[in-house]
Amino acid sequence: MKLTGEQCDTYNRDGFLVFPELFSSVEVNALRDEADRLRQIDAEGIFREGNHGMAKTMFRMHEPDGPTYSPAYRALSRTSRSLGVAQQLLRDDKVYMHHCKLNMKPAIEGTVWHWHQDFGSWQKDGIQMPEMVTMMVMLDEATEIGGCLYMLPGSHLKGRFDPYFEDSTVYKFYATPSTRVKEQMDTLPDPVAITGKPGTVAIFNCNTLHASGHNLSAKDRWQIYLCYNRCSNRPADIDDPRPDYVRSTNWEPMTLMNNDSII
């Protein structure tokens, strides 16, 4: 998959791109079936919420040496539509995956992800340069009432904002202070709701501010996140690093797989 000059310009201006239904319904069904299988596992790297202990976030489906491994997710991470696009935007063929995760917002009970930049956490992982991209793949239709992702166009051009530790959610992470988000909203275009059919993809810069709301709908909202980094930008050694499922120590360059390898 080859990006056009116009797409590259849009990404550089807005900090994200959207590709409607980039993955087929057959591929989406295979990935969803695998997610349904994996979420039954009791393993490190699976976080749950709600009265029934439903899985909210699950990590590391792309590496074959862990309990959450799925060949379909490894294939997803290495197609020309995922890895190939990341290589183009990062302008580097030598790319590895910092982490792979699935965010699951169950109907009615799925809660928010506060405004944040991915590099807010990743710099604390020992990564020096904000030259990373995240690809999101929809496994369900994403709607505003269903807690879709929102992007703040152009926010990646403002650099990294010092984050605070958000511990009110099931999966703890570093979020952007609301005062900083409001300042950016006063000067930038309105946030964009990333809605679409299953198989739709968004890819965004690691400094692009994004968030998602409560799932108030009667339908689940599952989305995959593939977080790519240049091998040359691998984390430096730090004290007390996060677990491998969220801060990978496999910094070998990824290789492309066939486009039909998911199924």
What radius of gyration, in Å, describes the C-alpha atoms of the chain? 17
Classify 173 as helix, strand or coil.
Answer: strand
Q: H helices then E strands: how many in the chain?
A: 6, 13
pLDDT at 164: 87
pTM of model > 0.85? yes
C-alpha to C-alpha distances, 145 to 4, 209, 213, 223, nearest whole angstrom: 32, 20, 8, 15
Look up residue 184 and give its two tokens.
């950016």
Closest CA to 159 of 176, 141, 147: 176
User: For 14-36, how does the pLDDT look when each residue is reduced to its tens digit (9 = 90+)?
Assistant: 999 999 999 999 999 999 999 99
pLDDT at 174: 87
pLDDT at 76: 98
pLDDT at 79: 97
Q: Crossing angle, helix 5-14 and helix 83-90, to 10 degrees?
A: 70
pLDDT at 19: 98
pLDDT at 44: 87
Angle, vertex CA 65, rays to CA 62 and CA 71, nearest 5: 40
pLDDT at 176: 94
The number of residues in the chain equals 263
pLDDT at 51: 63
Give me the phi and psi of 118, to 5 degrees please.
Answer: -60, -35
Closest CA to 23 of 193, 137, 140: 137
Give every residue of the chain whose pLDDT is below 70, as ranges: 50-52, 168-171
Write out the CATH class of domain 5-233: mainly beta
Closest CA to 139 of 88, 76, 46, 96: 76
